[in-house]
A and B are shown apart, each in its own frame.
Chain A
Amino acid sequence: MNYPDGIIVALTILGLVGIGIYAIIVSRNLIKIVVGMQIMVKGVLLAFVLAGRVSGNIGLGQSLALTVIVVDTIVAVVALALTVQVHKRFGSLDPQALTTLRR
């Protein structure tokens, strides 16, 4: 991987993370938020691999990426399970409808 390739990967990372954050901020549907989070995490994965490559610790970057994949899967599973529960209790997937604290 030479230098311009690195730039392309970096731009991809920025794009993925940006799309993920955008989805989390604007969407009003918990499932879409989980999907946005997944997209963001994929960008982070790529960032780990790139960082490992640039700093010369390829093994470290890859193993961290693998860890993140495992953790991320668990997060997705738990988040989706909670989403199902939320829909059962509140009858809605809108996170703003979840607030019981507000007046």
Chain B
Amino acid sequence: MPNWLLLLPIGVPWLGCIGVWMVGDRRPKFQHSLAVFFSVLSAGAGLMLIPYSTQRLTLMLPLGGVFDDFRLATDGLGVFLAVVATVIGSLAVIFSVDYMHGEHSLGRYYAFVLFFIGSMVGLVLTTSLLWMFVFWELTALCSYALIAFHNDDPKAVRGGIKALIMTQFGGLGLLFGALLLYTYTGSYEINSFLSNPGVLPASVLNWMAFGFLIAAAAKSAQFPFQTWLPDAMEAPTPISALIHAATMVNAGVYLLARFYPAFEAVPGWKLAVMIVGMLSALLAALMALVAFDLKRVLAYSTVSQLGFMVYAVGAGGVFASQFHLMSHSVFKALLFLGAGAVIHALGTRDMREMGGLGKRMPFTRTVFILGALALAGLPIFNGFWSKELILEIGLGHGNPSWIAALMILSAGLTAAYTLRMVILVFYGQARRDHHVHDAGNAMKTALFPLAVGSLSTWLLLGPFYQALKTSLPFHKFEFDETWLHMAESVHSTIGMTLEVGLEVLRQPFTYIVLLVVILGGVSWLGRKRLSVLIATFKGVEQAAQSAFGFDAINDAIVKSVQKTGEALRVTQTGYLAWNVLAVLLGWLVVLILTLLGRIG
């Protein structure tokens, strides 16, 4: 068994990280090519894992003790996300060659991107909860460093710190979960926990379930932590595409899906997950409808689509959520990179200054519209199939139908803001005279595969379902009876895709959703006629523009930390005598605690 293969997709980008750093900023051309080389190599290493998505390949580096052994293992879920991280990572790096041309500090930029790719792969492949926490925090660190990449811009630095603060909530939840698990079982092994969640007392399991929900919500920018993602848009656009659309923000959904078998039975957990997803999907879609910053619209739309995935997990559709995750990674990376090409050409992100760009950037327009159609959920595109599956799960299977109705409304809103975005950017009269050029060659190289992917990744439904089915023994998947029956009748995984596709098309429910989606688009076109209706929602619009007031959470944390710091300054006297006394008192406390432990 070539189990050292598992180290490649982590090790190769990390090696590249060191390499690019060592080259130094005086040779930018060499840096570009080195980064592309290592990222493509890691994409190859990621793709090499695909055959092992159905069979288990494990690697253990013994470290022992409370730090747990460094364990990696493949299964359908982990390999799939590792492939997404490495492949989209390499495309983002290729895109950066044009986008970051002439920027300074390229070493820092590429080093963190490559470090991120490796950490993300580690996060999804490890089977130890403690190491998962370590990688989780490494990705948060890279995200912070790259949001604040333009560190002479106070807005970027503030956005980075905000993202770091918010995602720390998630990290803490995960760490507490890991320590609880270790306290009760003496191991951090995820799979043995999933096979028997009953090893934890019910009350502890409840704490863990809701702690992990908070962790996932913070990482995936879900309600009520959704405010950090729009502010993270100060990052260079390839970073937004890679970290804040395709990979890192999916870690929360991944966490929920991975631990679903353990928390499924916790009372109220599934409902809470559904409500968090629904609120995020709905509120973020409303905010996307009124924002004018192109990247912020895309960020809100990411929050909204992640809401769909979280909702799907709560509704019991683990497969549907992961399938939408795949579609979303592809089309949202495409949209972000397309937006990056526009922003790079124009030098502004404000959609009010764009317009009429379609004729002058035909390639960008074409691929962007492909991504937009997938986002809106129109047939043939991958977004259509995965969103249909999510909504189908939500309506039946004992899930509350009012939440499902609101999700369908969000799907309609998605179509409306997507259409608004495309029209504002590419059609109408040019609202300002720009000297515009279409995307460069490196940009095209990155955009083209993603555009093809938006059209075709849904064909992987059958193989993906089979891989998850065979490699995740503790999960129970939706559509089991009907789909497995289909798979048996056609004897091939691709055939299964077509069968499932036909099944979706046979459902009358599909057409209702499609109607809502089209209505959403039409309502944006006919907004002048609907002005009376819109006027009644003026309050909602203003609330949406001010992010519904959830920035207060971040502000409160920053203020309280500053206040505590000021208050604690008194203790830093700088006098030797006081410090020695404090050391002595601390030592006494430890001594007393030890003695108490002996007696008790």
Contact = CB atoms under 8 A, between A and B. Distances in A.
Interface of A: 21, 24-26, 33, 95-96, 99, 101-102
A71 to B, nearest CB: 19
Report, nearest first, the 8 A-B pairs whose CB atoms are least far apart: A95-B576, A25-B577, A99-B574, A24-B580, A25-B580, A102-B574, A25-B581, A96-B575
Contact of A21 (B574, B575, B580): B580
B577 A26 contact: yes
A52 B574 CA distance: 38
B584 interface: yes
B594 to A, nearest CB: 16
Q: Do most interface residues of chain A lie in helix, strand or loop, or is the interface mixed?
A: helix
Nearest to A30: B576
A96 B576 CA distance: 7
A84 B577 CA distance: 20
Interface of B: 574-577, 580-581, 584
B584 A101 contact: no
Contacts, number: 17
A94 B574 CA distance: 13
A25 B580 CA distance: 7
Nearest to A100: B574
Q: Do most interface residues of chain B lie in helix, strand or loop, or is the interface mixed?
A: helix
Given A21-B580, A24-B577, A96-B575, 12 more contacts: A24-B576, A24-B580, A25-B577, A25-B580, A25-B581, A26-B577, A33-B576, A95-B575, A95-B576, A99-B574, A101-B574, A102-B574
Nearest to A27: B577
Contacts of A26: 577
B591 to A, nearest CB: 13
17 contacts: A21-B580, A21-B584, A24-B576, A24-B577, A24-B580, A25-B577, A25-B580, A25-B581, A26-B577, A33-B576, A95-B575, A95-B576, A96-B575, A96-B576, A99-B574, A101-B574, A102-B574
Interface centre among B575, B577, B581, B584 (most CB of A within 10 A): B577
A24 B578 CA distance: 10
Contacts of A96: 575-576
Nearest to B576: A95
B589 to A, nearest CB: 16
Contacts of B584: 21
Nearest to B575: A96
Contacts of A33: 576
A55 B584 CA distance: 26
A61 B445 CA distance: 71
Nearest to A101: B574
Contacts of B581: 25
A95 to B, nearest CB: 5
A25 B579 CA distance: 9
A44 B575 CA distance: 25
